[in-house]
A and B are shown apart, each in its own frame.
Chain A
């Protein structure tokens, strides 16, 4: 039934929405065109345009209130956009009910039917589609086996642990063989160790379902980096930036992305070189310190920028604290002091796999986070240190508001 539905969708392309690129590019499984959602005067989602290809996983990443869950609800049909269109497989479904979209949805609190046993939960969507009984039984069995829950088919949801309930919720959503699977913070109700385990399982599941488009909403960057082909960073009901994990991580286009994805420290600086449009290595002055960093965009001398450095990109320079104190005084940059910043250790946190330092930079009034690898020498709070960073591990981002 699902396949016939798909055929009819393809046979009747959306009228009034010409897609010139459709002939060249494959159709997108999900497409949002300038979708806004507002409740009264509150704007929950503002002009989101997003396309998810078949077989692609896109993570919507952002802090709470950034509009990522609202975007997911607009795709599922749980929220009616106040403007914009939602397309599935190129067909406009903006006005279609959730029941007619054929999308699998897994939510944070699982939303299992508490009065039905596990097998009845998984069979629900198939019964609603009036599938023959024998086929339902076979499909339910296959789905429960896929998530490793075949031994719990006759239990009630409340007899299961959180992780088990989540597996059932995934089996229930996938039983209807959806072309699109939406996951709304699926791991956030689980404890840390279970979350790591489920993340691995989701990764394996993803590999088993090569044709399904997945949209994964999370506020946890490690989940997004693990699962997503592309990450859409959301902020204040808007799409801040979208790109592959690698792009966003190593070449963030904005200060918010740099900070939210990977927790980069941002140092205000002024450009001292011309960087052409294509991007190149740029030189800047951060306070009185000369720095070299990757500039992915055009910069003119005197332009205000931010230098983004990841916590693990910082290194402690070998050198006496006295030298650090000396550098703090003069600061005028000769060759030796490029990308070398003196600072005072404010706090030291042991995190098992290494130490995390908070260092107050001298002469910059900025506090940066430094992750030292395991087995390295660790300074004590109050020590003077010199931080260095390789130019290719520091990246310039436009100086926007944070």
Chain B
């Protein structure tokens, strides 16, 4: 920053800190306080209690958490698998830039489409035979996969295009088949990007509401849907407690992925 006066620098930093505090920290902080509040009538919450958090971890809501985790993991796996596959293929198609551009457009489309539209589209498409997915767990997984596929694809494809094509060619010249080159050279070198894509996908899936709320069957209610329902009923403190659990679990999953990613990057 091109500010030389100490006071000016101080003022700028203070302003920035205040803005960040208001926009980012305040909602999180309030959620955190609300999760432990017995009542909140004044400026600060009163009668601290663990009742809401305990409720969030009790049988019914806990199953929501497990559902969320399972959905996020499966949806992310599917999205990363498809995204990586597509990214590797489109990076290999460097000779035909038209094809690569088409792949880019197709795989980025879901990111541009509102999640509600994705939900509605899936409901309309799969509510009648031959492919009847409405009311199944699969439709939730498919919806979330579709939404994060664009992010998985673009993360991996940026890395795949940055790869030196000579490395794979050198492997081929040494007598390795295409499959061997893919498994022993190209994919291992993409591992950090794949791990990053997986982390992003899980984080996005864990919080997905727009499409999920349209397609979820009663037996498969994710945590964000539960939170939404609680807010709808006016149970704000319970909602806050569930949000806190969601946040904690997401951060934990991301930490695990980051650990794997660190290991893969060191190699």
A201 to chain B, nearest CB (A): 20
A172 touches B174 (CB 8 A): yes
A128 touches B176 (CB 8 A): yes
A105 to chain B, nearest CB (A): 4
CB contact between A99 and one of B167, B176, B189 (< 8 Å): that residue: B176
B14 to chain A, nearest CB (A): 43
CB contact between B170 and one of A97, A107, A115 (< 8 Å): that residue: A107
Contact A115:B267 (CB < 8 A) given known A98-B169, A128-B180: yes
B267 touches A125 (CB 8 A): no
Chain B hits for A114, CB < 8 A:
167, 189
Q: Does B166 contact A (CB under 8 A)?
A: yes
Best-surrounded residue of A77, A103, A109, A113 (most CB of chain B within 10 A):
A113
Q: Does B41 contact A (CB under 8 A)?
A: no
B166 touches A99 (CB 8 A): no
Q: Mark A181-194, 1 if CB is under 8 A from B, else 0.
A: 00000000000000
Chain B hits for A113, CB < 8 A:
167, 170-171, 185
Contact A115:B189 (CB < 8 A) given known A99-B177, A107-B166, A109-B166: yes
B189 touches A111 (CB 8 A): no
Q: Does B232 contact A (CB under 8 A)?
A: no
Chain B hits for A100, CB < 8 A:
175
Q: How far is the CA of A173 from the CA of B169 in the complex (A)?
A: 12
Q: Mark B125-169, 1 if CB is under 8 A from A, else 0.
A: 000000000000000000000000000000000000000101101
Contact A99:B185 (CB < 8 A) given known A109-B166, A111-B164, A113-B167: no
A41 to chain B, nearest CB (A): 14
A115 touches B188 (CB 8 A): yes
Contact A129:B175 (CB < 8 A) given known A109-B164, A111-B164, A115-B267: yes
Chain B hits for A107, CB < 8 A:
166, 170
Q: How far is the CA of A128 from the CA of B177 in the complex (A)?
A: 8
B223 to chain A, nearest CB (A): 37
Contact A111:B170 (CB < 8 A) given known A125-B175, A128-B175, A176-B175: yes
Q: In A345-375, which residues have CB < 8 Å from any B CB? A: none
Q: Does B7 contact A (CB under 8 A)?
A: no
Q: How far is the CA of A170 from the CA of B11 in the complex (A)?
A: 60
Best-surrounded residue of B167, B188, B189, B267 (most CB of chain A within 10 A):
B167
Smallest Cβ-Cβ distance to B176: which chain A residue: A128
Q: How far is the CA of A343 from the CA of B192 in the complex (A)?
A: 65
Chain A hits for B172, CB < 8 A:
77, 97-99
Contact A105:B173 (CB < 8 A) given known A111-B164, A111-B166: yes
A102 touches B166 (CB 8 A): no
A124 touches B174 (CB 8 A): yes
Q: Mark A90-119, 1 if CB is under 8 A from B, else 0.
A: 000000011111111101010111110000
Q: Mark B177-188, 1 if CB is under 8 A from A, else 0.
A: 110100011001
Q: What is the predominant secondary structure among interface residues of chain B facing chain A? A: helix
Smallest Cβ-Cβ distance to B174: which chain A residue: A125
A226 to chain B, nearest CB (A): 25
CB contact between A105 and one of B170, B178, B184 (< 8 Å): that residue: B170
Q: How far is the CA of A101 from the CA of B176 in the complex (A)?
A: 11
Q: How far is the CA of A173 from the CA of B177 in the complex (A)?
A: 16
Smallest Cβ-Cβ distance to A184: which chain B residue: B166
The interface size bin for chain B is 10 to 19
Smallest Cβ-Cβ distance to B175: which chain A residue: A128
Q: Mark B209-246, 1 if CB is under 8 A from A, else 0.
A: 00000000000000000000000000000000000000
Q: What is the predominant secondary structure among interface residues of chain A facing chain B? A: loop
Q: How far is the CA of A198 from the CA of B166 in the complex (A)?
A: 22
Chain A hits for B178, CB < 8 A:
97
Q: How far is the CA of A129 from the CA of B180 in the complex (A)?
A: 11
Q: How far is the CA of A104 from the CA of B184 in the complex (A)?
A: 19
Chain A hits for B166, CB < 8 A:
107, 109, 111
Smallest Cβ-Cβ distance to A106: which chain B residue: B170
B193 to chain A, nearest CB (A): 13
Q: Does A74 contact B (CB under 8 A)?
A: no
Q: Mark A269-305, 1 if CB is under 8 A from B, else 0.
A: 0000000000000000000000000000000000000
Q: Does A76 contact B (CB under 8 A)?
A: yes
Q: How far is the CA of A100 from the CA of B188 in the complex (A)?
A: 23
Q: How far is the CA of A129 from the CA of B177 in the complex (A)?
A: 10
Q: How far is the CA of A113 from the CA of B178 in the complex (A)?
A: 16
B171 touches A104 (CB 8 A): no
CB contact between B167 and one of A77, A78, A102, A111 (< 8 Å): that residue: A111
Q: How far is the CA of A129 from the CA of B164 in the complex (A)?
A: 24
A255 to chain B, nearest CB (A): 35
Q: How far is the CA of A53 from the CA of B164 in the complex (A)?
A: 32
B173 touches A103 (CB 8 A): yes
Q: How far is the CA of A113 from the CA of B169 in the complex (A)?
A: 11
Contact A98:B164 (CB < 8 A) given known A114-B189, A115-B267, A128-B180: no
Q: How far is the CA of A173 from the CA of B164 in the complex (A)?
A: 18
B122 to chain A, nearest CB (A): 39
Q: Mark A143-183, 1 if CB is under 8 A from B, else 0.
A: 00000000000001000000000000000110010000000
Chain B hits for A125, CB < 8 A:
174-176
Q: How far is the CA of A75 from the CA of B178 in the complex (A)?
A: 19
Chain A hits for B267, CB < 8 A:
115, 156
B170 touches A99 (CB 8 A): no
Smallest Cβ-Cβ distance to A123: which chain B residue: B174
B195 to chain A, nearest CB (A): 14
B173 touches A99 (CB 8 A): yes
Chain B hits for A109, CB < 8 A:
164, 166
Contact A76:B189 (CB < 8 A) given known A113-B167, A115-B267: no
20 further A-B contacts with Cβ under 8 Å, apart from A99-B175, A129-B175, are A76-B169, A78-B173, A97-B178, A98-B172, A99-B173, A99-B174, A100-B175, A101-B173, A107-B170, A111-B164, A111-B166, A115-B188, A115-B267, A124-B171, A124-B174, A124-B176, A125-B174, A125-B175, A128-B174, A128-B177
Q: Can you list 17 contacts pairing A with B, beta carbon distance less than 8 Å?
A: A98-B169, A99-B173, A99-B175, A99-B176, A102-B175, A103-B173, A105-B170, A111-B170, A113-B170, A113-B185, A115-B189, A115-B267, A125-B175, A128-B171, A128-B180, A173-B173, A176-B175
